[in-house]
Amino acid sequence: MEKEMRVRFAPSPTGPFHIGGARSALFNWLLARKNGGKLILRIEDTDRERSTPESEENIKAALKWLGLEWDEGVDAGGEHGPYHQMERLAIYKKYTDQLLAEGKAYYCYCTDEELEAEREALTEAGKMPRYMGKCRNLTPEQAAAFQAEGRKPTVRFRVPAGQTIKFTDLVRGDVSFESDGIGDFVIVKSDGIPTYNYAVVIDDALMEITHVIRAEEHLSNTPRQILLYDALGFDRPKFGHISLILGKDKKKMSKRHGATSVDQYRQMGYLPDGLVNFLALLGWAPSGEQEIFTREELIKAFSMKHVAKNPAVFDVDKLNWINQHYMRKLSPEEFFEAAKPHMIASGYMTGEETGEQVEWLKRVVATAHEQVSYGAQIPEAVSMYFSDEFGFETPEAEAVLHEESVPTVMAALKDKLAAAEVIDGPAMKVIFKSIQKENKLGGKQVFMPIRVALTGNQHGPELVEMFPLLGKERAWQRISNSLSKVGINL
Ligand code: GLU
C-alpha cells in the first residue's frame, strides 16, 4: 500500500500573510484533499526578532477565512507535535549531539567580523563567498582556547566534498547542485536556536512529510536540506517548488503592484471562494479553458503535473472578473451582509438603522449586485442614493440635454410624476411608455435625457429601479437641478 500523503504548510510568522504564502498553503491543501492525505500546519518561529504572536494569529485566521483547514498541527493537535519550532529545541539538540558525535558537524568559533572579512576577501578575489572551513579541524586545545575567550560557538554542518546532489523536482524536473559550491553552513546559531535549513529537515522528517511543496525561492536551500537528510539517515521527501508570482510588469510582486496580503483582499471585500479560485490559477494551468472552479472541481482537477515552471503573473483584472462571478452568486441577504462593512466605512450606514431604513438600504445595495467585483466598490456604485450633488460625467452626457425634444419630455415627466400615486417599477414603466406614445418619440429619446438629468451619466442601473428608491420628490429635484444647468427651467 502506498504511504499516506502528508504535506505541510510551514509559515514564518514574521509579518503580513502574503498571497504567495496563501497560494503555497492552497496547493498543499488541494494535494492533501485530492489524495486523501493530511495537511499539517507548522509554525516556523525561530526568527526571534521578527516572529510575533499577532502574525501567527493573522495567518491562522486567514487560512480559516480562505477555508483551508488543516488536519494536524498548531491548534489542531496530532501525534507529531509540538508544532511550533521554538517548542522543539530539545528535539533539535538531540540530533545536533548526534551529528557532532559522528563528526558530521562541528563547533565554529569565528566571529561575525572574521566571517565578514572572509566574505569580503573572497568577493574581491572574484570568488563565491562561502565559509572556507576555518574551524573545520580545530584541535581540542584550540577549541578550549576560544571557549576561554568567552566565544559562543555556532554549529556548522560538514558539507561532504565532491558530491553532486540530484533530485527530481515535481515542478522543475531534474535538478542538480554541486556540494563544492556550498560552504559548511550553520545549523545551530550561537544562542542554541537552529537555522531554518536544519529545523525544517528534522521537522519534515519526524512529521513524516511525504511531499514538500513550497515557493521557488527555497529551491537553492534544497541541496543543503538533502545533505542533512542523508547525514541524519532520514528518507528524503519529494520536493516541488512553485514559481514566483510576478506583477503584470513581470517584476516580482511587491507592494508597488497593489495589495499583497490576504488581509488586504479580505478587507477590500473579496470573497474567499473568489480568491481561492484565483490563487489556484496562479501557476497551475488546467488542460482545458475552464477558469471558474468550485472547490470540489479544483480538488478533482488539481495535479502537480500541471503546475507551470514559468512565473505566474498576478493579474488583478482577472481576480476581479473571477470574484465578480462569486459576488453574483451571493443571495440578496448575503450580498447585503457583504456590503455592510463597506457601507458603514463610507458613512452611508451606521449599522443602527431601523427596520424601514434597513429595507430601503437593502433595495439600494441590491442595485449594485450585478455591477461590482468586490465589496469596497459597493458604496461608490450606490452613491447617488446618498448625495444629490453631481455634475455631468462627460460633455457628451450634457449634450444629451440640449436635444430638441428634451423640454417636452421633461414637462410631460413632471406632470405624470405629480399625478402618480405610487411610483414603483411598473408605474414608472407606464409613465415612460405614455411619454413616448403621446409625443411620438423613440425609447432612447425618452430614457437617455431622463437618465442624464437624474444621474449626470449616460450609463447606470435601470431607471425604473432608481425612481422608486429616490422617491418622486427627490428624483424630480435632481432632474430639475440638472435641467436648470442647461437653461431649462421647469
Ligand atoms: N518558514 C519557511 C517560509 O516561510 C518555510 C519554507 C518551507 O516551506 O520549507 O518561507
pLDDT tens digits, 78-117: 999 999 999 999 999 999 999 999 999 999 999 999 999 9
Q: Closest by alpha carbon to 380, among 324, 339, 328, 352?
A: 339
Are 270 and 322 in contact by the 8 Å Cβ rule? The answer is no
Q: Which residue has the higher pLDDT, 258 or 6?
A: 6
Helices (H), 186-315: 196-206, 222-232, 262-267, 272-280, 295-301
Ranges of beta strands (E only) in 89-244 are 105-108, 154-157, 164-169, 173-178, 186-188, 211-215, 238-242
Please identify which residue in the block is written with the cell numbers 431622463: 450
Best residue among 31, 218, 245 to mutate for probing ligand 1, ranked by most atoms within 8 Å of CB: 218
Superfamily of domain 6-85+245-313 in the CATH hierarchy: HUPs (3.40.50.620)
pLDDT at 2 over 80: no
CA dihedral in degrees (15, 16, 19, 25; nearest 10)?
A: 60
CA dihedral in degrees (429, 463, 348, 58; nearest 10)?
A: 110
Best residue among 7, 12, 17, 236 to mutate for probing ligand 1, ranked by most atoms within 8 Å of CB: 12
pLDDT at 1 over 90: no
Q: What is the pLDDT of residue 393?
A: 95
pLDDT per residue as tens digits for the range 194-233: 999 999 999 999 999 999 999 999 999 999 999 999 999 9
Q: What is the pLDDT of residue 184?
A: 98
Q: Which atom of ligand 1 is nearest to the CA of 213?
A: 8
Cα(464) to centroid of ligand 1, in Å? 55
Mean pLDDT of 154-173: 98
pLDDT at 345 over 70: yes
Q: Closest by alpha carbon to 199, among 51, 63, 57?
A: 51
Q: What is the pLDDT of residue 281?
A: 97
pLDDT at 247 over 70: yes
Q: Residue 225 carries which side chain, given as an amino acid letter? A: Q
Residue tagged active-site, from 94, 251, 255, 329: 255
Q: Which atom of ligand 1 is nearest to the CA of 221?
A: 9
Mean pLDDT of 6-24: 97
Q: Which atom of ligand 1 is nearest to the CA of 217?
A: 10
Q: Which atom of ligand 1 is nearest to the CA of 10?
A: 5
Q: Residue 488 carries which side chain, given as an amino acid letter? A: I
Cα(290) to centroid of ligand 1, in Å? 31
Mean pLDDT of 479-485: 97
**pLDDT more than 90, % of the chain:** 95
pLDDT per residue as tens digits for the range 117-134: 999 999 999 998 999 999
Q: Which atom of ligand 1 is nearest to the CA of 21?
A: 4
Same fold, 6-85+245-313 and 88-242: yes
Q: What is the pLDDT of residue 3?
A: 84
**Residues with beta carbon inside 6 Å of ligand 1?**
10-12, 44, 200, 214, 218
**Is CATH 1.10.150.120 the classification given to domain 395-485?**
no
State yes or no: is 238 an active-site residue.
no
Q: What is the pLDDT of residue 240?
A: 98
One CATH from 3.30.70.2190, 3.30.70.260, 3.40.50.620, 3.80.30.20 for 88-242: 3.40.50.620
pLDDT at 287 over 90: no
Q: What is the pLDDT of residue 363?
A: 96
- Element containing residue 38 per DSSP (H, E): strand 38-41
Cα(300) to centroid of ligand 1, in Å? 26
Cα(277) to centroid of ligand 1, in Å? 23
pLDDT per residue as tens digits for the range 438-478: 999 999 999 999 999 999 999 988 899 999 999 999 999 99
**Grid cell listed for 131:** 565559509
Ranges of each domain in the chain: 6-85+245-313, 88-242, 330-383, 395-485
Cα(388) to centroid of ligand 1, in Å? 53
May I ask the CATH architecture of the domain 330-383?
Orthogonal Bundle (1.10)
Are 171 and 240 in contact by the 8 Å Cβ rule? The answer is yes
What integer best gives the mean pLDDT of the chain? 96
Cα(174) to centroid of ligand 1, in Å? 22
Q: Closest by alpha carbon to 411, among 310, 345, 479?
A: 479
Helices (H), 139-271: 140-148, 196-206, 222-232, 262-267
